[in-house]
């Protein structure tokens, strides 16, 4: 059976490098990560789900009972553990970029910023605001805007900035697959710059 031209050669060219999806809560990292992993023959890991499994509690419970600092410590530990593996698409938590030490792991792979834009994100988050501990305030929209303003320059350090509209997760995954060849460094030229696309 022959491999399709869009999967096996790309997987071989990636050489096991992990793909890290970053972006605000509600940006579609988990829903996009699964079809992306399937398209390139990678495994998929949802970092928040791993944290919840290890802690035996939801993210909201961890925030409420131990605070954000404790959660960020768990998040970094989980990211480091995931970083020991290869050939993974990793859906990260929205705040993973706020810890400088996490970038050491993120930049070992390819970092992809999913950016649906402020208004679209707010629409999505209104549906499950109770699951978003950082938005548990009397004025969640103001809290969201503050988070977005603080994190956007950090997300901008990604290798690929993908502005996302109303596409399905499958379609977003296909766009990423199309952009990946331009992000892979040529092993024969390790100094070749990586490119980014909007």
Examine residue 154 and state whether it is found in any structural domain, yes or no.
yes
- How big is the chain by its Cα radius of gyration, in Å? 17
As for how many domains the chain has, the answer is: 1
| Residue 196 banded pLDDT, cuts 50, 70, 90 | very low
In a domain, 5, yes or no: no
* Residue-level pLDDT at 135: 61
Residue pair 30/22 in contact (Cβ under 8 Å)? The answer is no
Query: CATH code at 38?
Result: 3.40.50.300
For residues 146 and 36, the model is more confident at: 36
DSSP H or E segment with residue 19 = strand 19-22
Q: What is the mean pLDDT of residues 124-152?
A: 75
Worst-scoring range by mean pLDDT, 5-14, 17-26, 57-66, 102-111? 5-14
Instruction: Answer whether residue 3 is part of any domain.
Output: no
Specify if 2 maps to a domain.
no
Q: Which structural domain range is residue 91 located in?
A: 13-183
pLDDT of residue 191: 43
In DSSP terms, 113 is beta-bridged to 22, 161
What's the pLDDT band for 133 if we cut at 50, 70, 90?
low
Query: Residue 50 has what pLDDT?
Result: 97
194 assigned to some structural domain: no
pLDDT tier, 60 (very low <50, low <70, confident <90, very high otherwise): confident
Is 159 within 8 Å of 97 (Cβ atoms)?
A: no
pLDDT band of residue 70 (cuts 50, 70, 90) is: very high
d(CA 79, CA 191) in angstroms, rounded, equals 27
- Cα dihedral across residues 65, 61, 25, 30: positive or negative: positive
The answer to whether residues 82 and 88 touch, using CB atoms and an 8 Å cutoff, is yes
Region 88-112 average pLDDT: 96
Bridge partners, residue 112, by sequence = 21, 160
Confidence of residue 144 (pLDDT cuts 50, 70, 90): confident
Tell me if 89 sits within 8 A of 19, measured CB to CB: yes
Is residue 56 included in any domain, yes or no? yes
Taking the C-alpha atoms of residue 71 and residue 77, their distance in angstroms, rounded to an integer, is 10
pTM for the full predicted model:
0.86
In tens, the pLDDT along 147-195 reads: 899 999 999 999 999 999 989 999 999 999 999 999 987 654 444 434 4
Token pair, residue 109, equals: 């792979």
Q: Does 86 have pLDDT greater than 60?
A: yes
Q: How far is CA 140 from CA 118, 121, 125, 133, 196, in A?
A: 13, 12, 10, 10, 32
Q: Per the domain annotation, does 192 fall within a domain?
A: no
Q: 97 or 198: whose pLDDT is higher?
A: 97
The reply to whether 150 falls in a domain is: yes
Q: Is the pLDDT of residue 5 over 50?
A: no
Q: Considering the chain, what is the average pLDDT of its residues?
A: 87
């Amino acid at each position: 059976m022959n491999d399709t031209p869009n999967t096996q050669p790309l997987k071989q060219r990636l050489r096991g490098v992990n793909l890290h999806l970053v972006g605000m809560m509600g940006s579609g990292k988990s829903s996009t990560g699964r079809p992306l992993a399937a398209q390139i023959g990678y495994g998929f890991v949802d970092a928040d789900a791993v944290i919840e499994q290890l802690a035996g509690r939801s993210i909201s419970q961890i925030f409420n009972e131990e605070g954000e600092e404790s959660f960020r410590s768990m998040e970094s530990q989980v990211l480091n553990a995931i970083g020991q593996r290869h050939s993974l698409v990793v859906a990260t938590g929205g705040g993973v970029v706020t810890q400088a030490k996490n970038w050491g792991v993120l930049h070992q792979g390819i970092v992809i910023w999913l950016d649906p834009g402020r208004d679209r994100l707010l629409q999505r988050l209104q549906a499950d605001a109770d699951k978003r501990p950082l938005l548990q305030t009397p004025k969640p929209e103001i809290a969201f805007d503050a988070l977005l303003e603080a994190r956007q320059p950090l997300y901008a350090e990604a290798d690929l900035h993908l502005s996302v509209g109303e596409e399905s997760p499958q379609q977003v995954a296909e766009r990423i697959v199309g952009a990946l060849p331009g992000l892979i460094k040529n092993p024969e030229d390790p100094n070749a710059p990586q490119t980014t696309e909007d």
